[in-house]
Amino acid sequence: MLAKVVRSKAVARTAVIGLALGVFALAVLAAVSITTNARSSSHIRHASEISNYWSQFDLHISVEAEALNDFMVAEKFGKDLLDSAMNSAAPDLEWQRHNGDPDDVRNADLAGDAYTAYTQTLFELRRSRTDQERTHDLADQAALGSSLLRKTANANVTRHRLAMEAYLAADAEFNRKLSLAAGVICGADFLLLVLCASILLTHQRRIEGQAVESRYRALHDELTGLANRALLADEIDHALGIAGPENESVGLLLLDLNKFKEVNDTLGHHAGDLLLKEVSARLVRAVRASDTVARLGGDEFAVLMPKVDSAGHCSEIARRLLDALEVPVELDGVTVDISGSIGAALHPLHSASGAELLQHADIAMYEAKRNRIGVAVYDPRADRHSSQSLGLIGELRRALDEDELVLHYQPKVAAGTGRVAGTEALIRWQHPVRGLLQPGDFIPQAEESEIIVPLTDRVLTMALEQHRRWRDAGTILPVAVNVPTVCLLDPGFPDRVAAALAACDVPAGVLTLEITETSIINDPVRASAVLTRLREMGVRLSVDDFGTGYSSMSYLQSMPLHELKIDRSFVRTVTDSHGGTAIVRAVIELARALDLEVVAEGVEDEAALTVLGEMGCTYAQGYHISRPVRPDDLIAWMERSARVAAYR
């Protein structure tokens, strides 16, 4: 209860204000005390001075009286004394008239009159020395005046003494009350000071606690309590600093969960948070006490492992982590499988710094995810994220601006007759220094960058413009364009296709968009929505490289497709392998059953083309028919092919 009161802001403000007022009151009391003491000292000094002058007046009267006595006894010796003593008290009365209190001024006036008379008596006494009787009468009169004046002086001295005693008593009483008030205020200030000190200490402890908590939050993930990216970077630098002198290896694992987005979308973010907490707990239980587990954001985790023997040891630990992770978990009554992809990198084998170690582990993780192999150790040969790659992306942006991209076209012919049925647009880069670059030299890097979107839009526009030029020249030649996954999952892609068709004045039916199985499998719902819109526009849709990767019969039935392209790896063995022949025949039969056309890629010889025609394959494409060529060369090739067909 007391601690709660101390933490109250109202109590803190009241205590501070009270302490300030108390200090101010003490200051006022001190000022009053100093002023009062000064005034008292001045009053006492002035009263003492007045009293002293009355005493001095009494003394002068006494001296005059003694001189009178001496004069009466021996005129010859006392005359001079009397002359020097007479009128000596007059300055005392004059001082009282100018400096005394009102009563002193009034008494001085009265005493002055008596003193004047007294002095006059002395003068007469001094002149009437020959008349004895007159002299004695004047002497008695002078003695009486002297006595009266002395009594007046003593009365004033006594009056001032009594007044001073009363004044001192009143002053002492005032000082007593002032001291009592000061004691009360000091006591209150002391209590307020103790309260303020308690409040300050409480707030200091709270601030220190908040600082510790803020630092903890700044270095830890709020949801799981694991280290965050900032703390992981510090731990990596610390581990590398220790490992350097000892020539030890430090391993780093980056884990990315598979299909975590589906959990969020299906069960909600609450279930996703529960899954992340469960994954965190499993990782912490599975690692060593010296290892650091961190959450880097989203569904991405990291494990820092000091003192790792080798890359193989690092990979073995990653496999154990996956085994511990891949146990189903129940979320809100639904059993969910957990799986992930782990990338591993080793210092100093793969990386010279902490930032590089993190980057290379990230590259390895994406390699594992892309190839669905669970665990991948960083391989410099497969690293497309080098500075050269970054420079390549920058050059590719320049190539878009300066129209350095060109399209080559590979014809697609009817397998049975050799009639040209269309062509596939294949991108090339006419690099000003490196010459003509093939797609494999820059497309993989582009697909990992946002530049793949404007690159695809540019290829689409170039292919449609080329179709229009062929059409204006009298040749109707349908064109196919490859589409990356990122475009297929973009709801705005159909609108861009429609805009390109309208800008080039090309009907949708002459355009075929070739997609990969992977782009469909990654997000079939979004892919189906985009493909359905494209088909409703009249655009033809083809699945490229069918038979490899993660072929699924279900999407062939549900997706709005027109065509399958059998991968060249099967077509290459169609004449010399029973398995290859069986697979190609099965795909052709499956496509016929689903009312889909079939294109055989990679036809390298006449025998393969003949077999495909006999199997009922719709179209064929390959180097035996034609390599990808420039637009003008394609028209020349078509003219030669037509003459050969006519000759046959």
> What pLDDT, in 10s, does the model give residues 73-97?
766 566 777 777 788 888 888 898 8
pLDDT at 225 over 70: yes
Quick one: angle between helices 132-219 and 102-127, nearest 10?
150
Residue 390 has pLDDT above 80, yes or no: no
Q: How would you label 200-213 residue by residue, b for 16+ Cβ within 10 Å and e otherwise?
A: eeeeeeeeeeeeee
Q: Which residues pair with 117 in a beta bridge?
A: none
**CA dist., res. 519 & res. 545, Å (int):** 12
pLDDT of residue 428: 93
Q: Is the pLDDT of residue 536 over 90?
A: yes
Mean pLDDT, to the nearest integer, of 600-615?
88
What is the rounded distance in angstroms from the CA atom of residue 268 to the CA atom of residue 189?
Answer: 59
pLDDT at position 645, please?
55
When pLDDT is averaged across residues 258-269 and rounded to a whole number, the result is 78
- Identify the band that residue 504 occupies on the pLDDT scale cut at 50, 70 and 90: very high
Pick the range with the lowest mean pLDDT from 86-90, 106-110, 369-373, 440-444: 369-373
Is a pLDDT exceeding 80 seen at residue 394?
no
Lowest mean pLDDT among 87-101, 118-132, 214-228: 118-132
Two structure tokens written together for 464? 């449609």
CA distances (Å), 433 to each of 395, 520, 600, in order?
11, 37, 36
Would you say residue 458 has pLDDT above 90? yes
Please list the residues that pair with 490 across neighbouring strands: none
Reply yes or no on whether the pLDDT at 424 is more than 80.
Answer: yes
Q: Give 628 or 112, the one with higher predicted confidence.
A: 628
- Dihedral sign, CA of 344, 346, 350, 356? positive
Higher pLDDT, 263 or 410: 410
Tokens of 432: 């000003």
Q: Closest by alpha carbon to 392, among 465, 446, 322?
A: 446
Beginning with the edge strand found earlier in the chain, give each strand of the sheet holding 375-377 in spatial order: 292-297, 300-308, 249-257, 340-347, 375-377
Three-state SS sequence of 437-481: ECHHHCHHHHHCCCCHHHHHHHHHHHHHHHHHHHHHCCCCCCEEE
Which of 82-96, 244-258, 479-493, 513-527 has the weakest average pLDDT? 513-527
- Say how far apart CA 161 and CA 152 lie, in whole Å: 14
For the segment 335-355, the average pLDDT, to the nearest whole number, is 83
pLDDT band at 322 (very low <50, low <70, confident <90, very high): confident
Residue 494, token pair as written in the block: 């159909």
Contacts of 79 (CB under 8 A, 6+ apart): 71, 126
Whether residue 166 is predicted with pLDDT greater than 90 in this model: the reply is: no
pLDDT at 519: 66
Q: What is the pTM assigned to this prediction?
A: 0.50
What proportion of the chain, given as a percentage, has pLDDT over 90? 14
Of 540, 477, 551, 549, nearest to 514 (Cα)?
A: 540
State the pLDDT at residue 407: 94
How far is Cα of residue 500 from the mean position of the Cα atoms in its chain?
A: 44
Neighbouring-strand partners of residue 53: none
Q: So what's the pLDDT on residue 539? A: 94
- pLDDT number for residue 308: 82
- What values do phi and psi take at 331, rounded to 5? -125, 110
Q: What is the mean pLDDT of residues 522-547?
A: 85
Taking residues 130-147, report their average pLDDT. 78
Question: Which three-class secondary structure string do you get for 138-183?
Answer: HHHHHHHHHHHHHHHHHHHHHHHHHHHHHHHHHHHHHHHHHHHHHH
Segment 273-289 shows an average pLDDT of 87
DSSP 227: B
pLDDT of residue 547: 67
Q: What is the chain's mean pLDDT, rounded?
A: 83
Give the rounded percent of residues in the chain with a pLDDT score beyond 70.
Answer: 91
Res. 535 pLDDT band, cuts 50 70 90? very high
Provide the token pair at 77: 């010796």
Return the pLDDT at 538: 94
Residue 536 CB-density burial (10 A; 0-12 exposed, 13-18 middle, 19+ buried): exposed
> In Å, how far are 114, 230, 302 from 223, measured between CA atoms?
108, 16, 15
Mean per-residue pLDDT, 316-342: 83
Model confidence at 647, in pLDDT bands (50, 70, 90)? very low
Mean pLDDT of 280-305: 88
Beta bridge partners of 386: none
At 648 the pLDDT is 47
